[in-house]
Amino acid sequence: MNPLIPLFVVVPLAGAFLIMILGRFIRDFHKYFTSLVLLFLVILSFYSLFNSDGNVSVYKVGGWEPVNRIPIGIYMVMDGFTLILLCIVNLIGFLSVFYSISYISRYTSENFFYALFCLMIAGMNGVVLSGDIFNIFVFLEISAISSYALVAFGVEKNELEATFKYQVLGGLASFMILFGIGFIYWKTKTLNIADIKTALGTGNDKYYYLFVQILILSGFGLKAAIIPFHAWLPDAHSSAPSPISAMLSGVLIKAVGIYVIFRLFFNMFILTEAMAVLITTLGTLSMVVGVFLAIGQWDIKRLLAYHSISQMGYVVMSVGIGMILISRGVNDKIATLAVAGGLFHLINHAAFKGLLFLNAGAIEYSTGTRDLKEMGGLSRSMPFTSATSFIASLSISGVPPFNGFFSKLIIIIAAIMAKFYLLAALAVIVSIITLASFLKFQRYAFYNKTQEKVKGDIKEVPFPMIFSMVILSVMCLLLSLLAFPGIREAVLSPAIEILTDPGRYSFQIIGF
Amino acid sequence: MKGMTIIVKKTTQLIAGLVFLYGIYIIIHGHLTPGGGFAGGVILAGSFILQILAFGSEFTHLLKEETGSTFYENMAILVVLFLAVSGLLFGLKVFFLNWVPQGTPGEIISAGMLPLYNIFVGIEVAASILTIFLALVIFKEEISK
Amino acid sequence: MTVYLLCFILFLVGLYGVITRRNLIKIAISLSIMEFSSFLFFALIGFVDGGVAPIVDPADPLKTYVDPLPQALVLTAIVIGLATTAMLMAVIIRIYRKYKTFDIREISNLRG
């Protein structure tokens, strides 16, 4: 059993409570300690990524071995899909903490910020590492409650209203997830994901499981902000402080929304064509509606939040195409390509959306406003911010040689090869409209004449913020290398195999 | 806020200690009877909250910040995590292992490490519910000023 | 079957409260009622016909017990529900300080 697996959860949890105790005595302890903790987690996750060789590691908490080949006890599972998400969560977390060393000094009681941040990271690590559904629920709640508090951090009117809406809808989602878990337990009498798959394979209640699948899709879809469950996202992501917006939009909706949907639908339920078509439809709707709602926005962060909905629609649509092909039982190669495109776009979106939110935070730090009509001409006074923002805007619009181009290309090719011509056409149109929206953002923020309100002394932002933004823009260039065969085998292929191969997950964990 | 009438104050003086003792009883017998760390911790916090409500905040000299109870809460959680990680040192070397020798079922000192977990989780829950209550009361005082 | 139907009615009562009430605190309490209905459902799932409470008596250890796992799940879920409600209450008090009202129709600063 790999001894590194519980460290991903224990280290940030212990760090959060140590910050609360020692932060009162030692000055500036919280900033550097949190950066060290997250740097340790980044090193650990990349080491596990390059050392795993595509195997599945299982950790049985408490040492309870299976009795009569039935798993008792809580399992923590680390396979290819988990490793990708662990690397994304910890890397974007580390860069956000480094950015917030200088950004959060404008708020009071910084102790609580870093402690809540560590708790959120511990919750997200726990969700992606757990092998049983109730554990997913517990860690999901830990990270969700920390994010409610972090969204309301600077307690102004807008932030409190945004977090109230977020909390009521989040509570509704948690209730639906708990209800779904109850229904699953009633029929299968077990909570382990691999064991549920074995128990479901012999059952006959089709309509019961259809109801359970709809409940689980609604609950986690609310957390992942798919249409029609997106109502909390624009308010919450635009009112939060900028490093928290980067974490929420770049990591949280992926790790607790999209990851769990894919894990449960590929590895636990038996895929039917009806559910696959439903998921693909929801993804396409998110893609289209998100970008049309984003065109008319003049507030930077609301614009970026609506674009998050649209890009998540790309991911869900692409993996949905893979699900349709698998449920029909044909065309394994095209299904693998579609799932690969979706996962690649997931990784890319974390990088460039995180960078865009950090840029918006830098603009707000220097000029004090978030409205596009009130700023202009920033490319002369803020060179680093303007260069990294240009790179991020080109990435999200799908311009070569940045990473967005390769992942969108794979998605469109997979849609055409599977004969879904309407979806491919919609993907191209949405990409063009995204390009138009970001050209508007670049022009009004950086290349216009400077407006009246922000004339004055606009300096470049301090060093920690520049460091995070530059590292993320370098990642935007490097991630495009993931499309090439050598690196793809090491990183993406284990994840795709574990998702699309029907018996492999449960075979590796419980042996049949 | 002002305290309550003299009947409430006298009854609280008689009962608060017994409530505290009842909470400790539920925590310690957590592996034999229903209850355990969480339920016992809530009852412990209940005895403190009863005293604050009955006597009023001027009498109990509530401070501006709830620093004392936060300290106990964090220390108790760190001890629980330390006990869980200590399973990595003995026997099978897994997380959360029950490595203390287990006695006969039905006695108080049995079932390995469970009574220790119960006690520290009880302290932690009592401290955190007290912190929530103090934070809300102190904030309400700030509004009414 | 009637006990499951009563759980569902409790859930509908909570949902009605969240959707139609205007006072912020009533919305919070209705959310809490909705969560309690799911706890009740969980505790009812583990019932075995003819079972007794799952406390092992050393003199006679081989009886039919009710399933203890859902009861442990309900304990955890109650703690999580408490944390969610406490967080919601703290945010409501801060909203009262800023907006000076508990009415949800007046709290509509963010649009679009």
What are the sequence ranges of the domains in chain B? 6-144
Cα angle, residue B99 at apex, residues B98 and B105 outer, rounded to 5°: 65
Mean pLDDT in residue range B40-54:
91
**Across residues A418-430, what is the average pLDDT?**
90
CB A222 within 8 A of CB A321: no
Whole-angstrom Cα distance, residue A485 to residue B137? 61
Nearest to A371 by CA among A441, A422, A467, A314: A441
- Bin B8: left if φ > 0, else alpha if -120 < ψ < 50, else beta: alpha
pLDDT averaged over every residue in chain A: 86
Q: Which domains does chain C have, with CATH numbers?
A: 2-50+63-102 (1.10.287.3510)
pLDDT at B113 over 70: yes
Q: How far apart are CA B90 and CA B99, in angstroms?
A: 7
Distance in angstroms (rounded) separating the CA atoms of residues A86 and A65: 26
Lookup result for tokens 């607790």: A256
Of the candidates A104, A146, A123, A121, the one whose C-alpha atom is nearest the C-alpha of residue A40 is A121
The whole-angstrom separation of Cα B131 and Cα B46 is 12
- With cut-offs at 50, 70 and 90, classify the pLDDT of residue A123: very high
Split at pLDDT 50, 70, 90, the class of A194 is confident
Residue among C41, C82, C91, C105 with most chain A CBs within 10 A, to mutate: C91
Q: What is the mean pLDDT of each run of 10 residues along chain C (112 residues)?
A: 88 92 92 92 88 77 84 92 92 87 81 62
pLDDT band at A188 (very low <50, low <70, confident <90, very high): confident
Query: pLDDT digits over A223-263, tens only?
Result: 988 888 888 998 888 888 889 999 998 899 988 899 999 99
**Average pLDDT, integer, range A346-353:** 90
Q: How many other C-beta atoms can be found within 10 angstroms of the C-beta atom of residue A399?
A: 15
Interface membership of B102 toward A (CB under 8 Å): no
Of the listed ranges A111-120, A190-199, A256-265, C74-83, the least confidently predicted one is A190-199
| Chain C residues within an 8 Å CB radius of A160 | 91, 94-95, 98
Chain C contact for B15 (CB, 8 A cutoff) = no
Are A59 and B74 a contacting pair at CB < 8 A?
no
Q: Do B97 and A14 touch (CB under 8 A)?
A: no
If you average pLDDT over residues A11-24, what whole number do you get?
A: 88
In whole angstroms, what is the distance from residue B129 CA to residue B73 CA?
Answer: 10
Give chain A's end-to-end CA distance (angstroms, integer).
Answer: 19
Task: Assess A14–B contact: CB distance below 8 Å, yes or no.
Answer: yes
Q: Give the DSSP letter string of A224-272.
A: HT-TTS-TTHHHHHHHS-HHHHHHIIIIIHIIIIIHHHHHHHHHTSPP-
B112/A68 Cα distance (integer angstroms): 25
Is the Cβ pair C89, B140 closer than 8 Å?
no
Query: Given pLDDT bands bounded at 50, 70 and 90, which one contains residue B94?
Result: low
* Per-residue pLDDT, B93: 62
CB contact under 8 A, A61 and B98: no
The yes-or-no verdict on residue B53 having pLDDT over 70 is yes
Does the distance separating the beta carbons of A162 and C38 come in below 8 Å? no
Residues 60-99 of C with CB under 8 A from B: 75, 78-79, 86, 89-90, 93-94, 96-97
Q: How many residues does chain C have?
A: 112
The pLDDT tens digits of the residues spanning A50-62 come to: 887 767 888 888 7
pLDDT of residue A454: 61
Position C112 scores a pLDDT of 56
CA distance A8 to A41: 7
Token code pair at residue A126:
């726990």
User: Which DSSP string corresponds to A443-508?
Assistant: IIIIIS---STT-S---PPPHHHHHHHHHHHHHHHHGGGGGSHHHHHHHHHHHHHHHHSTTHHHHH
Range of weakest confidence among A139-153, A310-324, A389-403, B103-117? B103-117
**Which whole number is the average pLDDT over A369-382?**
79
User: Is pLDDT above 90 for A216?
Assistant: yes
Closest in C35, C73, C98 to A175, CB measured: C35
Q: Would you call A59 an interface residue with chain B, using a CB distance cutoff of 8 Å? A: yes
Cβ of C35 within 8 Å of Cβ of A171? The answer is yes
- Higher pLDDT: A203 or A446? It is A446
Q: How far apart are CA B87 and CA B71, in angstroms?
A: 25
Name all chains with 3 or more CB-CB pairs below 8 Å to chain B: A, C
Tell me which residue has tokens 């703290």: C90
Tell me the DSSP string of A324-366.
Answer: HHHHHT--HHHHHHHHHHHHHHHHHHHHHHHHHHHHHHHHHHH
Question: Best interface-test mutation with C: which of A168, A191, A215, A370 has the largest number of C CBs within 10 A?
Answer: A168
CA trace torsion A239, A242, A244, A249 (10° rounding): 80
Is the minimum CB–CB distance between A1 and chain B shorter than 8 Å? yes
B100: Cβ–Cβ under 8 A, 6 or more apart, which residues? B112, B113, B116
Please enumerate in sequence order all residues whose Cβ is within 8 A of that of A340, keeping only pairs 6 or more positions apart, or say none.
A410, A488, A492, A496
Whether the CB-CB separation of A78 and A56 falls below 8 Å is answered with yes
Best interface-test mutation with A: which of C38, C69, C78, C79 has the largest number of A CBs within 10 A? C38
Which of residues B114 and B50 earns the better pLDDT score? B50
Distance CA A29, CA A315 (A): 39
Q: Partners of A75 in the beta sheet?
A: A60
Q: What chain B residue is nearest to C71 in terms of C-alpha separation?
A: B34
Closest-CA residue to A287 (of A306, A262, A309) = A309
Contacts of A398 (CB under 8 A, 6+ apart): A404, A405, A408, A409, A431, A434, A435
- A507 has pLDDT over 80: no
Residue A170 has pLDDT above 90, yes or no: yes
User: What's the mean pLDDT in B36-47?
Assistant: 92
Lowest mean pLDDT among A149-163, A224-238, A302-316, B62-76: B62-76
Report how far residue A480's alpha carbon sits from residue A391's, in angstroms, rounded to the nearest whole number.
13
Pair of tokens at residue B97:
């292992």
pLDDT-wise least confident of A30-34, A357-361, A476-480, B137-141? B137-141
d(CA A449, CA A375): 8
Q: What is the CA radius of gyration of chain A?
A: 22
**Partner residue opposite C110 with nearest CB, options A155, A162, A171:** A162
What is the reported pLDDT for B91?
Answer: 61
Contact flag B92-A63 (C-beta cutoff 8 Å): yes
